[in-house]
Amino acid sequence: MKLYKIFKNAILITVACLALSACATSKKSTGQMQGDVYTGTDSVEYLASGVPDRVFFATNETVLTTASRETLRKQAAWLRKNSKISIVLEGHADERGTREYNLALGERRANSAKDYLMTYGISSDRISVLSYGKERPVDSGSNPLAWSKNRRSVTVKAN
Amino acid sequence: MFRILFGIFLIISPTHVFALIEVDITRGNLNPLPIAVSPLSIDENSKKDLNKILKKKNIGSSISKIVETNLKISGLFNPLDKDAFLQAPDIANLKPRFEDWNLIKAQALITGKVDFVDEKLRVEFRLWDVLAGKEMMALAFTTVPSNWRRVGHIITDKVYERLTGEKGYFDTRIIYVAEEGPKTRRIKKLAIMDQDGANNKFLTLGNELVLTPRFNPTSQMVTYLSYFRNLPRVYLLDIETGMQEVVGDFPGMTFAPRFSPKGKKIIMSFAKDGNSDIYTMDLENRIVEKITNHPSIDTSPSYSPDGKYICFNSDRSGYQQIYVMNSDGSNVKRISFGKGLYGTPVWSPRGDLIAFTKLHKGKFYIGVMRTDGSGERLLTENFYQEAPSWSPNGRVLIFYRETKTDSKGEGFSAKLWSIDLTGYNERLVNTPTDASDPSWSSLLSN
């Protein structure tokens, strides 16, 4: 009888552990996305300390999120301080779209970022735009989290 | 390369007989026609000479093997097992004993003969109606020996045309993008091969990203997108000479190119300041015309075969849909109204249908609809596939499909597939590497 109780407890504990670890993994993926916009940091690089290089988009969208605008304002401030630096805005789409449309979508995303930088005083002479469509994902996975990392515009130093 | 001349002679013009066998290609064919492809007969001297040149022990068997494979792949024919053939190839070609062929349930029979004459390959073949006991067709070809595979394809085209009433699609090539390496750093090269995967050749080295190659009507030129020097632009490539040139002088990205039906213009998208519109450039006088003028994305243009209309992809309604307009850009009409998103419209060479890619609830479909958007039919569903291209007779579509090979979504593969317009006969098209963006040539022997 006692043995049975121990056994039962052991099973309960195992079940609890499994539930916890399941929570941990699902939390990890939802915690890095708001709606379907990527909010994590593991694929982000930095132009300078505190200046992230990329912004993320919702599926099929080209509008900038609040977080994206904040990132771009940091980039604009940094570019104003470093007036000799020119940049390329590289626009990307996820793999869930047709190739040609995604090329156009990537171009539109990079231009959203460009327009915003220009309203914060960065001359269009310093900005060029390059769309890769879905050709250069940063995450090769085929799942919503990977796709959210890939829908992005990345600011790259041109010189 | 395509200009190597074939001497084609009609040996005996087929007397116009009715009630001979016919194959219906308008429906999914559940009862492919049983056909016997007898090895082409060859005498010992020709066999030896041709073996020296082509390294093929019996070129007669090799050619008939090509015919057999083509017929099988078409899904309309059932080539019978050669082991069951009772008559020797040389005798069958003179006068088949129809009872013997009837016995193994063959309804049609192909026989023929190969000779090596004056350094040339001479091939004759005959098509027989076994039940009626009659000859349906007899033709002979003379060409350089290295063209032996094309002879097999041309024989198939002639047989296909005689039995279905429509032109074949076997003496054709496919241009496509050969892919290798991880998804995040994929290396892409232009590649060209025969329709059956033979004679594969890479046309670029893979130093820059290349996408969406498409043939001109004579299949000697290709237009495609290249990221040469990190500037995505539409290029033109002459397959024979290897000469490449950029198309037009645009300050931004040009993409999604195709030729006009006569090959005189290239139609493409030009993207600037977040807006993509459709333009044409005349290849002779270099005049550029703007065809669409809309703040939405307008891309993937494709002409109707008569050149009067253009179908294209636009998100002016909010999402990707298919539109048709006059070739001057007037009279724009949306034609796709089903659930989901629609992309990559491509006008059929017969003019009556538009093939497309559809995205709905996380699945990708290849489908066709009439040019007014009615009669939508989805031919195949998968996790990810796109970019249909028509066979020159408008009966088969080739497209590419990516599959994720594990549950994490890693280790994927991209391959070319073909499917009949009927939705039957889906097949993997062999390529030496991973492959995408196929474009089917016209019939080369036309």
> Are A67 and A120 in a shared domain?
yes
Residue B358 lies in a domain: no
Quote the CA–CA distance of B435 and B403 in Å, as a whole number: 12
Residue B370 lies in a domain: no
Residue B436 lies in a domain: no
Give A7: exposed, middle or buried? Use CB within 10 Å, 0-12, 13-18, 19+: exposed
> Are A17 and A42 in a shared domain?
no
Closest by alpha carbon to B244, among B252, B229, B253? B229
- Looking at residue A113, its pLDDT comes to 98
- Looking at residue A137, its pLDDT comes to 97
* Beta-carbon separation of B274 and A111 below 8 A: yes
Q: Which chain A residue has the Cα nearest residue B366?
A: A98
Average confidence (pLDDT) over B370-398? 97
Quote the CA–CA distance of B444 and B195 in Å, as a whole number: 11
Q: Which chain A residue has the Cα nearest residue B297?
A: A104
* Beta-carbon separation of B299 and A104 below 8 A: yes
> Are A18 and A41 in a shared domain?
no
pLDDT tens-digit map of A109-131: 999 999 999 999 999 999 999 99
Name the range with the highest mean pLDDT among A86-90, B45-49, B240-244: A86-90
Which chain B residues are within 8 Å of A137, Cβ to Cβ?
Answer: 183-184
pTM for this model (two decimals):
0.90
Tell whether B343 lies on the interface with A, counting CB pairs under 8 A. Answer: yes
Residue B19 lies in a domain: yes
pLDDT tens-digit map of B152-177: 999 999 999 999 999 999 999 999 99
Position with higher pLDDT, B221 vs A20: B221
- Looking at residue B100, its pLDDT comes to 95
The three-state DSSP-derived secondary structure of chain A is CHHHHHHHHHHHHHHHHHHHHHHHHHHHHHHCEECCEECCCCCCCEEECCEECEEECCCCCCCCCHHHHHHHHHHHHHHHHCCCCCEEEEEECCCCCCHHHHHHHHHHHHHHHHHHHHHCCCCHHHEEEEEEECCCCCCCCCCHHHHHHHCEEEEEECC
Quote the CA–CA distance of A78 and B433 in Å, as a whole number: 45
pLDDT-derived band at B23, boundaries 50, 70, 90: confident
pLDDT-derived band at A21, boundaries 50, 70, 90: very low
Which chain A residues are within 8 Å of B186, Cβ to Cβ?
Answer: 135
Tell whether B410 lies on the interface with A, counting CB pairs under 8 A. Answer: yes
Which of A23-32, B282-291, B336-345, B347-356 has the lowest average pLDDT?
Answer: A23-32
- Looking at residue B248, its pLDDT comes to 87
Which chain B residues are within 8 Å of A140, Cβ to Cβ?
Answer: 182-184, 409-410, 412
Average confidence (pLDDT) over B197-220? 96
Domain count, chain B: 1
> Are A137 and A100 in a shared domain?
yes
Share above pLDDT 90 across residues of chain B, in percent, rounded to a whole number: 89
* Beta-carbon separation of A108 and B297 below 8 A: yes
> Are A25 and A37 in a shared domain?
no
> Are A9 and A81 in a shared domain?
no
Is the CB of residue A150 less than 8 Å from the CB of residue A92?
A: yes
* Beta-carbon separation of B269 and A100 below 8 A: yes
Tell whether B344 lies on the interface with A, counting CB pairs under 8 A. Answer: yes
* Beta-carbon separation of A103 and B252 below 8 A: no
DSSP, collapsed to helix, strand or coil, labels residue B386 as: strand
Mutate to test the interface with A, among B212, B226, B297 (most CBs of A within 10 A): B297
Quote the CA–CA distance of B174 and B161 in Å, as a whole number: 21
Tokens of B312: 């294209």
- φ, ψ (nearest 5 deg) of residue B229: 55, 30
Cβ neighbours around B7 below 10 Å, total: 10
Query: What separation, in Å, do the N-terminal and C-terminal C-alpha atoms of chain B show?
Result: 14
pLDDT of B377 strictly over 90:
yes
Q: Which residues constitute the domain of residue B103?
A: 7-164
Q: Which residues share a beta bridge with B259?
A: B266
Position with higher pLDDT, B21 vs B2: B21
* Beta-carbon separation of B409 and A141 below 8 A: yes
- Cα–Cα distances in angstroms (integers) from residue B295 to residues A17, A35, A117, B274, in the given order: 54, 27, 21, 9
pLDDT-derived band at A14, boundaries 50, 70, 90: very low
pLDDT tens-digit map of B130-160: 999 999 999 998 999 999 999 999 999 999 9
* Beta-carbon separation of A96 and B211 below 8 A: no
pLDDT of B88 strictly over 80:
yes
Q: What is the mean pLDDT of chain B?
A: 92
Which chain A residues are within 8 Å of B357, Cβ to Cβ?
Answer: 98
Average confidence (pLDDT) over B174-194? 96
- Looking at residue B6, its pLDDT comes to 61
Average confidence (pLDDT) over B3-19? 51
Q: Which CATH number fits the domain that encloses residue A91?
A: 3.30.1330.60
Which chain B residues are within 8 Å of A108, Cβ to Cβ?
Answer: 271, 274-276, 297
Q: What is chain A's Cα-based Rg?
A: 21
Residue B158 lies in a domain: yes
Domain count, chain A: 2
- Looking at residue B20, its pLDDT comes to 67
Q: What is the mean pLDDT of chain A?
A: 87
> Are A48 and A113 in a shared domain?
yes
CA angle B315, B316, B322 (to 5 degrees): 55
Q: Which residues constitute the domain of residue A138?
A: 32-157
pLDDT-derived band at A23, boundaries 50, 70, 90: very low
Tell whether B312 lies on the interface with A, counting CB pairs under 8 A. Answer: no
- Looking at residue B403, its pLDDT comes to 86
* Beta-carbon separation of A101 and B412 below 8 A: no
Residues of A with CB under 8 A from a CB of B: 60, 62, 95-101, 103-105, 107-108, 110-112, 114-115, 129-132, 135-143, 146
pLDDT-derived band at A27, boundaries 50, 70, 90: very low
> Are A23 and A54 in a shared domain?
no
Residue B433 lies in a domain: no
Residue B410 lies in a domain: no
Residue B338 lies in a domain: no
> Are A95 and A124 in a shared domain?
yes
Average confidence (pLDDT) over B373-388? 96
Tokens of B300: 């993937």
**Which DSSP symbol is given to B22?**
-
pLDDT of A13 strictly over 60:
no
Which chain B residues are within 8 Å of A92, Cβ to Cβ?
Answer: none
Average confidence (pLDDT) over B285-292? 96
Pick from A99, A110, A138: CB nearest B386 = A99
- Cα–Cα distances in angstroms (integers) from residue A65 to residues A35, A51, A55, A68, A88, in the given order: 11, 17, 9, 5, 20
> Are A58 and A4 in a shared domain?
no
How near does any CA of chain B get to the CA of A21, in Å? 18
Average confidence (pLDDT) over B379-400? 96
- Looking at residue A12, its pLDDT comes to 47
> Are A92 and A103 in a shared domain?
yes
Average confidence (pLDDT) over B57-68? 96
Amino acid at A134: K
Tokens of B222: 């290709």
Average confidence (pLDDT) over B106-114? 97
* Beta-carbon separation of B274 and A96 below 8 A: no
Pick from B255, B275, B409: CB nearest A103 = B255
Interstrand relation of B33-37 and B77-79 (parallel, antiparallel or unpaired) = parallel
pLDDT of B91 strictly over 80:
yes
> Are A115 and A152 in a shared domain?
yes
Q: Which CATH number fits the domain that encloses residue B138?
A: 3.40.50.10070
